[in-house]
């Protein structure tokens, strides 16, 4: 009805009026199309459940090996203590330890991270039996001891609890002290041969491949302090790649796939980011309930778990919880043919990740790779695997193209998952009752916007290249799944529609041009329904997904911010990349924050603090709508016959809502005195540009 209204009441005179009206028609047409895509995704959600007791009854002796890949890149923004907590939580899964292998890829090539891994391998001999004996959750030492209380009901358990906690605190202190010092003391370097590798490194950005097997799970003598076998633990710092520097994670994953195929060769691979510790010790068994299903299991290429974060504030100030995406969109994607692969918390079938096409003739031997017979010494394996992990090994091969994760795209995970689906494999989405993995979300506005800029750039790059689901997926995946991908691939293209709605109606308000029906017109009902029914539904949906009313309002704010900055920059960066004017870059989200920044984040005060083109845009739009709103109120006050209210009410309401949304911007520009306020340069630029725009509209 809104579109019918636009066509029926097109102005017949005045160039500004006509073109503004035509622009509104196309913008609302775009919103309608995107709404249709959203409904298509949410029409048929699937929520899955597992029965782990049946898995144990049928297959406990035949459970397959599982290789776990953890990737890190910089010891400064991804502290070694955080990395080893993730590693230890993976080693402590409720799963036969002789069938687990944990691989850490350190693209930072840091001896500090290697030292932390060495300490973690020693601590694991106490931590793993402690976890299993007390059946604790979660199995990240930091996360567990942060909230757990000493078991006072049993003196023996209390004694062991205090002992293990002291071991962890001592280890953490040593690692953090060494990290702060910036180098590993000489006496510690002499304890392990692996430190000699750093004698030949000129810089962290230029070094040879380093591979050390810290715990050889194939060795019968690899036992914890209670005589039980330990998982394999491997450290890898691969040789630096001259090509695709922004795809460090894809390169790291591909190197780990090659290396693990020689050491453990498990048929199932789990990959996680270094901050995504295991929050559920049964996640592996949950995943295997799907892979080992007698009827459909052999069709599954990967199983994606939700992303969740432990540092989200009560009202989710930056809307980083991704609740709607994880709780609503992804079950819908599962119903339409399978979820996207989102880079972390995903279980893969090795053969699917290595490029093999699905066939009904595929046979699964879950016993393969489960043996622990020593065929080669650890030293020989290390030498062989260094070659497998080198850049020269994959030169002129299908790695990064048809095998492993794909190179050349900022969202290599999405394009890799699409490729797996196009080879005939199914993907599934599983939301466990207890969250499987917990990570760290960005704690500043700029980090959030930059992260979404990378996502939107990569998504749009997929859409406009041969990797588009409509080209790559033609006749290979269902049409409804091809369309479902667009809910994210079309993110960057929404910048124009949102920016138009934030600029043109306010400027037309100052000029007295009406772009919406009069309050007395029956057409107002269509706009009122579209606005209020849609927002009410979104509010109910958000609260149902675990959010708060204030969190929903924060989400509306970030929705506007992302679409006028992240998606705008992502769109043009993707175009420049396509035309060959620039290369994509990968920006790692920092996992640590300064103390004052953390305090403001906990208090839910929006963080600005630095100059950025994104902040220039946000501040200018905020001031433009404030000036227009003031102008509209002035017209209302001076209007004796109430014609302005009838004619321009919706535009005034729109500006008023945008003023409310931008309240943190105004505080940062004019009222805050802390270091998180808007820089003066942003204030001066935004005032100048917004006043200039208003002056042009008036005169």
Say if residue 364's pLDDT is above 80: no
From the list 107, 275, 334, 459, the catalytic residue is 107
Tell me which of 350 and 373 has the higher pLDDT: 350
Cβ atoms of residues 505 and 624 within 8 Å: no
Distance CA 361, CA 602 (A): 55
Distance CA 534, CA 530 (A): 6
- C-alpha count within 13 angstroms, C-beta hemisphere, residue 299: 12
**What is the DSSP code (8-state) at residue 238?**
P
Cβ atoms of residues 293 and 52 within 8 Å: no
What is the token pair recorded at 477? 């995946």
Say if residue 370's pLDDT is above 70: no
User: What pLDDT score was predicted for residue 30?
Assistant: 95
Closest-CA residue to 264 (of 232, 221, 228): 232
* Class of residue 389 by CB neighbours under 10 A (exposed 0-12, middle 13-18, buried 19+): buried
Distance CA 178, CA 80 (A): 10
Distance CA 306, CA 298 (A): 22
What would the pLDDT profile of 287-303 be if each residue is shown by its tens digit? 999 999 988 899 999 99
User: What pLDDT score was predicted for residue 367?
Assistant: 64
Distance CA 263, CA 261 (A): 6
Closest-CA residue to 236 (of 267, 269, 216, 260): 260
What distance lies between CA 251 and its chain's CA centroid? 18
Closest-CA residue to 571 (of 457, 412, 415, 408): 457
User: What pLDDT score was predicted for residue 205?
Assistant: 64
Is 107 a residue of the active site? yes
What would the pLDDT profile of 129-156 be if each residue is shown by its tens digit? 999 999 999 999 999 999 888 888 888 8
Closest-CA residue to 9 (of 273, 20, 368, 30): 20
Say if residue 587's pLDDT is above 90: no
User: What pLDDT score was predicted for residue 397?
Assistant: 84
Distance CA 413, CA 399 (A): 14
% the chain with pLDDT above 90 = 70
User: What pLDDT score was predicted for residue 586?
Assistant: 53
* Class of residue 543 by CB neighbours under 10 A (exposed 0-12, middle 13-18, buried 19+): middle
pLDDT bin (cut points 50, 70, 90) of residue 575 is very high
Non-local CB neighbours of 339 within 8 Å, separated by 6+ positions: 304, 330, 333, 417, 427, 428, 429
User: What pLDDT score was predicted for residue 201?
Assistant: 73
What would the pLDDT profile of 620-636 be if each residue is shown by its tens digit? 999 999 999 999 999 98
Residue indicated by tokens 């305090």: 599
What would the pLDDT profile of 163-215 be if each residue is shown by its tens digit? 999 999 999 999 999 999 988 888 888 888 888 888 877 666 667 888 999 99
Q: Which residues are paired to 213 by β-bridges?
A: 234
Query: Rounded to the nearest 5°, which phi and psi values hold at 308?
Result: -140, 155
Instruction: Look at 340-354, 377-391, 443-457 and tell me which has the smallest mean pLDDT.
Output: 377-391
Tell me which of 681 and 578 has the higher pLDDT: 681
Tell me which of 157 and 347 has the higher pLDDT: 347
Query: Rounded to the nearest 5°, which phi and psi values hold at 681?
Result: -60, -40
What is the token pair recorded at 564? 């006028």
Distance CA 423, CA 301 (A): 9
In the sheet that holds 426-429, the strands lie side by side as 210-215, 232-237, 100-106, 66-72, 268-273, 346-349, 300-304, 426-429
Distance CA 109, CA 387 (A): 17
What would the pLDDT profile of 239-255 be if each residue is shown by its tens digit? 765 444 456 788 889 89
Say if residue 374's pLDDT is above 70: no
Is 293 a residue of the active site? no
> How much is the mean pLDDT over the chain?
90
User: What pLDDT score was predicted for residue 154?
Assistant: 82
What would the pLDDT profile of 81-127 be if each residue is shown by its tens digit? 999 999 999 999 999 999 999 999 998 888 999 999 999 999 999 99
Instruction: Look at 48-57, 74-83, 219-228 and tell me which has the smallest mean pLDDT.
Output: 219-228
What would the pLDDT profile of 98-108 be if each residue is shown by its tens digit? 999 999 999 88
Instruction: Look at 133-137, 373-377, 437-441 and tell me which has the smallest mean pLDDT.
Output: 373-377
What would the pLDDT profile of 450-480 be if each residue is shown by its tens digit? 999 999 999 999 999 999 999 999 999 999 9
What would the pLDDT profile of 346-358 be if each residue is shown by its tens digit? 999 999 999 999 9
Region 4-23: mean pLDDT is 92
From the list 224, 316, 413, 573, the catalytic residue is 413
What is the token pair recorded at 193? 């041969």
Non-local CB neighbours of 198 within 8 Å, separated by 6+ positions: 111, 114, 210
Distance CA 606, CA 603 (A): 9
User: What pLDDT score was predicted for residue 244?
Assistant: 47
Distance CA 92, CA 100 (A): 9
User: Helix H segments across 43-154?
Assistant: 52-59, 80-91, 111-134, 141-147
């Amino acid at each position: 009805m809104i579109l019918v209204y636009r066509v029926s009441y097109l102005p017949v005179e005045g160039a500004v009026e006509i073109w503004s009206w035509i622009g509104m028609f196309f913008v609302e047409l775009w919103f309608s199309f995107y709404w249709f895509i959203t409904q298509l995704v949410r029409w048929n959600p699937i929520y899955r459940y597992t029965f782990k007791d049946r898995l144990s009854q049928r297959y406990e002796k035949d459970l397959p090996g599982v290789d776990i890949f953890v990737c890190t890149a910089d010891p400064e923004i991804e502290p070694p203590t955080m990395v080893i907590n993730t590693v230890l939580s993976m080693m402590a899964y409720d799963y036969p330890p002789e069938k687990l292998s944990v691989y850490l890829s350190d693209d930072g090539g840091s001896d500090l991270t290697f030292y932390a891994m060495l300490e973690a391998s020693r601590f694991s001999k106490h931590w793993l039996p402690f976890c299993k004996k007390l059946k604790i959750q979660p199995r990240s030492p930091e996360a567990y001891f942060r909230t757990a209380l000493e078991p006072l009901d049993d003196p023996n358990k209390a004694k062991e609890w205090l002992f293990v906690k002291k071991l962890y605190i001592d280890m953490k202190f040593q690692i953090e002290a060494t990290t702060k010092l910036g180098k590993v003391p000489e006496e510690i370097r002499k304890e392990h041969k692996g430190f000699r590798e750093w004698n030949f490194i000129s810089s962290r950005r230029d070094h040879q491949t380093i591979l050390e097997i810290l715990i050889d799970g194939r060795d019968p003598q690899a036992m914890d302090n209670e005589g039980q076998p330990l998982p394999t633990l491997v450290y890898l710092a691969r040789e630096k790649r001259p090509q695709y520097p922004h795809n460090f994670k894809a390169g790291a994953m591909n190197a780990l796939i090659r290396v693990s195929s020689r050491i453990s060769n498990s048929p199932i691979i789990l990959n996680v980011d270094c901050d995504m510790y295991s929050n559920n010790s049964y996640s592996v068994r949950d995943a295997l309930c799907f892979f080992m299903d007698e009827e459909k299991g052999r069709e599954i290429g990967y199983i994606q778990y939700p992303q969740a974060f432990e540092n989200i504030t009560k009202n989710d100030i930056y809307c980083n919880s991704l609740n709607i995406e994880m709780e609503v969109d992804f079950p819908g994607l599962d119903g339409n043919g399978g979820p996207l692969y989102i880079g972390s918390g995903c279980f893969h079938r090795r053969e699917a990740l290595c490029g093999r096409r699905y066939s009904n003739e595929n046979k699964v031997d879950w016993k393969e790779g489960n043996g622990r017979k020593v065929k080669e010494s650890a030293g020989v394996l290390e030498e062989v695997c260094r070659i497998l992990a080198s850049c020269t090994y994959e030169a002129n091969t299908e790695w990064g193209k048809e095998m492993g994760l794909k190179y050349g795209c900022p969202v290599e995970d999405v394009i890799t998952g699409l490729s797996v689906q196009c080879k005939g494999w199914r993907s599934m989405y599983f939301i466990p009752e207890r969250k499987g993995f917990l990570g760290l979300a960005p704690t500043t506005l700029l980090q959030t916007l930059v992260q979404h800029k990378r996502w939107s750039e990569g998504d749009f790059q997929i859409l406009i290249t041969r990797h588009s689901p409509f080209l790559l997926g033609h006749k290979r995946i269902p049409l409804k799944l091809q369309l479902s991908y667009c809910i994210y691939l079309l993110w960057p293209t929404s910048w124009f529609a949102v920016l138009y709605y934030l600029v043109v109606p306010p400027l037309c308000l100052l000029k007295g041009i009406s772009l919406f029906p009069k309050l007395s017109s029956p057409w107002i009902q269509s706009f009122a329904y579209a606005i209020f029914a849609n927002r009410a539904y979104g509010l109910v949906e958000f609260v149902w997904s675990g959010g708060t009313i204030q969190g929903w309002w924060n989400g509306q704010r970030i929705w506007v911010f992302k679409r006028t900055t992240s998606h705008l920059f992502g769109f043009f960066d993707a175009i420049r990349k396509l035309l060959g004017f620039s290369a994509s870059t990968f920006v790692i989200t920092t996992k640590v924050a300064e103390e004052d920044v953390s305090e403001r984040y906990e208090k839910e005060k929006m963080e600005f603090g630095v100059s950025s083109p994104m902040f220039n845009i946000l501040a200018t739009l905020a001031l433009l709508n404030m000036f227009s709103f003031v102008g509209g109120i002035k017209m209302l006050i001076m209007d004796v016959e109430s014609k302005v209210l009838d004619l321009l009410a919706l535009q005034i309401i729109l500006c008023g809502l945008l003023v409310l949304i931008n309240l943190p911007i105004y505080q940062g520009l004019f009222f805050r005195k802390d270091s998180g306020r808007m820089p003066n340069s942003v204030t001066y630029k935004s005032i100048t540009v917004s006043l200039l725009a208003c002056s042009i509209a008036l005169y």
